[in-house]
Structure 1
Amino acid sequence: MFIKRILQPIIEGQLRSNKVILLTGARRVGKTVLMNQLADSFNGLKLLLNGDDLSTADLLNDRRVASYRRWLGDTELLLIDEAQVIPEVGRSLKLMIDSFAHLTVLVTGSSAFDLTNRTGEPLVGRQLAYTLYPLAQLELSATETYLQTRDRLTDRLIFGSYPNVVRMNNDNDRVDYMKSMVSSYLLKDILLFEQVRNAHKMLQLLQLIAYQIGSEVSNDELSRQLQLDRNTVVRYLDLFTKVFILFRLGGYSNNLRKEVTKSSKWYFFDNGIRNALINNFSLPYQRPDMGALWENYLIAERLKRNAYQRRQATTYFWRTYDQQELDWLEEQDGQLSAFEMKWNTNRVRFPKAFQTAYPTASLSVVNPDNYLDFIT
């Protein structure tokens, strides 16, 4: 099953820009596949390199224009997979882009903190950055009918949307794949580049977050439960965002003193990773956490949708100290939109305090009957 990624035509339009195009994203989301498709669609002279190959690092680290000219020749598109493993790759790429007006470089990396750090300041004004996520419903909708999408909703809530998982037809294969993701790939970038040796504690932290989807998370409480220094917990959470495991949602406030603003909620980019961490792939009717799964799925899909459609919305949750709350707020161009995520389609009462404080805000419920409008 071929699934065209939304980023493909966007990046194709930049392949003669004389810039460095950074493509980041978690492991196994399809960056290499997308890079190869972009290479196939390019009708100029191109060269593909792999950052894991030591000879690639040797070529790039010989930072002399004459050296680059010798092996680049008239290359118009240079593609480097896993560029984050190459020391000082940013300096090399800057020299290439500054020296060869006909050259564009596309590089991939599975960790935002390392690829951006290694390509950062030297490439200011010379780079374009894109993030590839697990498959978005926006992309899947192009390959399936409305009825197929509705029939496959349970699979996406339980097993997530990594490309290989979506292509599998057997649930046991999906479970095995997601478990291998957690055991073999989830922390690989952090352990490799940040010299973090306490992998056991990191997995425990992710498991604690997995059980608290949709709830406010206290760093102090996590510190006590894990018997880790609070600053270490904060650092680990930051690293999880930079390897595209988690993302943070902060509290919104503009009017009321009783609004909660300092707390955080954490969500996973993919439901399958979350369920693998707690080793629970039960069907919806067998599990008590469907509200949390539904909320995580919708918010992750909305994040992908906003990113791919270049919607510059700032996002929050909303809660007061007397427990009035809303799951998801978006603020864009001065307009505030609020959403409640409900797996069950029962009637919802919106908080009076919010309606009084923000009378012009729109209020919506997202449930299984209308969720596609929210995420596509």
Structure 2
Amino acid sequence: MDYFDRHIKSKALNLLSKFPLLAVTGPRQSGKTTFARKLKPDFTYVNLELPEARNFAKTDPLAFLRSYQNGVILDEVQWVPELFSYLQVLTDERNIVGEYILTGSQNFLLSNQITQSLAGRVAILNLLPFSKQELTDHITIPSWEDLVVNGGYPRKYQFDIAPNDYYPNYIQTYIERDVRQILNVMDLGNFQKFLQLLAGRAGQLFNQSNFSNELGIDQKTVNSWLSVLETSFIAFRLPSYYRNFNKRILKSSKVYFYDTGVLCSLLGIKRAEDLNVHFARGPLFENLVILELMKKELNSGEVPALYYWRDNHQNEVDLLQEKDGKLTAIEIKSSETFHTDFLKGLKYFQKIAPESLAKLIYAGSLSQEREGIQISNFSEL
């Protein structure tokens, strides 16, 4: 497979012309290292996962940074948090833009250290696995079901690895390596059960007490484990919209996954055909659409403002997107056949938020406007 240009590239180059440091975070194997090296092929590359480089950086960070300057990629920089305060001093002294690219797959540590030491000096971008558009620029995707099962991890496409071979190994490596590093989880088997339970409830409200009862662990541990999945880019919470429109709203978050290939693997889905009768067909399509809209924002260097909305009378909209001062209500349906019932929640929401836009995204072929609501098929997303 030839290198697929990432849509985040233009934003990254723009930020490098304005900040001394650019930090690229994202899931393990999402292509951060390749992206950084293709972005600036003339930069010196240093992998801080290598013991010799890590030891040098830890024992003498100032000498390390004086050895590597004027165009450096520091890969997996979360291994040496001691570097950040020195980077602050040296970049202030030199006052050169675009000098360092930092990458890290553990968002929790990278963001924490950056917040403390490099605020105002560093631009941060999140690189997720391939988006639908990044893939279709180069290859043909037969259906949304194929995209859901195959996910977006570059290595899977680079070496044409079957989903059933790639994702179980990815998940096992993640649990045995990253989870041990991030959190002192003694019972990895129980953590894996938690991960599988969460997959079965993707797109549903996150109820800590249910997980606590089923796994025999306290709610504090449940919340801690979900935070681990968030900070390592496995799962994310979709919050409830904060304006209530004079109605009582639910405040619990919903949970989705950063890659549908990972989600399908946890659900035991091996082929696109398995989705025809699978209970999670609807939630998987919903997860895919939300993820694609999120990637579009992230690849533009924006912070996604995505929510769901539901009041205490069960009126609901799958997704609300706030952008440029406008609110768009989006309903998501996996059906290939359009039904007027799909518009019910959107019509209700338009009554209480008349300034909002309304869209339906579904798996069929229709593309038109009805009653002020834009109907789009997934291929147009």
Name the amino acid aligned to 1:320. D
Q: Give the length in aligned residue pairs.
A: 361
Question: Does 2:345 align with 1:338?
Answer: no
Q: After superposition, where does 1:253-272 map in structure 2 within 5 Å?
A: 253-256=242-245, 258-272=247-261
Residue in structure 1 matched with residue 87 of structure 2 by the alignment: 93
Equivalent residue runs for 1:41-60 within 5 Å: 42=42, 46-60=43-57
Indicate the residue corresponding to 1:71 in structure 2.
Answer: 67
CA RMSD of aligned residues (A): 2.4
Go from structure 1 to structure 2 and tell me whether the alpha carbon gap of 1:56 and 1:91 turns closer, same or farther (over 3 Å shift): farther
Aligned to 1:184: 173
The answer to whether 1:371 aligns with 2:365 is no
Kept after mapping to 1: 8 A contact 2:182/2:228: no
* Secondary structure at the counterpart of residue 120 of structure 1: helix
Match of 1:252 in 2: 241
Aligned pairs for 1:126-275 within 5 A: 126-144=121-139, 148-149=140-141, 151-167=142-158, 169=160, 173-186=162-175, 188-256=177-245, 258-275=247-264
In the alignment, the residues of structure 1 paired with residue 333 and residue 11 of structure 2 have an alpha-carbon distance, to the nearest angstrom, of 34
- The one-letter code sitting in structure 1 at the alignment partner of 2:20 is K
* Deviation of 1:367 (Å): 1.2
Task: State how far apart, in whole Å, the 1-side matches of 2:66 and 2:330 are.
Answer: 57
Contact 1:213–1:292 under 8 Å retained in 2:
yes
AA aligned to 2:30 is V
Equivalent runs, 1:95-114 vs 2, <5 Å: 95-102=89-96, 104-114=99-109
Q: Which stretch shows the higher mean deviation, 185-194 or 285-294?
A: 185-194
Q: Deviations over 1:273-295 (max 9, x none)?
A: 11111222242224232111100
Q: Does 1:37 align with 2:38?
A: yes
For 1:308 and 1:186, how far apart are their aligned partners in 2?
Answer: 27
Residue 116 of structure 1: aligned partner: 111
List aligned pairs for 1:350-361, cutoff 5 A: 350-351=344-345, 353-361=348-356
Whole-angstrom distance in 1 between the partners of 2:278 and 2:325:
39
The one-letter code of the counterpart of 1:126 is R
C-alpha contact (below 8 Å) 1:60/1:92 kept by paired residues: no
Distance 1:358 1:87, change over 3 A: closer
* Seq. identity, %: 27
TM-score between both structures, scaled by the size of structure 1: 0.88
Q: 1:341 to 1:140 in 2, by over 3 A?
A: same
Aligned CA distance change for structure 1 residues 61 and 353 (closer, same or farther; 3 Å): same
Counterpart in the other structure of 2:282: 291
TM value normalised by structure 2: 0.87
C-alpha distance in 2 between matches for 1:214 and 1:317? 10
3-state SS, counterpart of residue 107 of structure 1 = strand
- Deviations 1:256-307 (Å, cap 9, x if unpaired)? 4544331110000111111111222242224232111100111111111122
Match of 1:325 in 2: 316
**Relative to 1, partners in 2 of residues 1:296 and 1:167: Cα closer, same or farther, differing over 3 Å?**
same
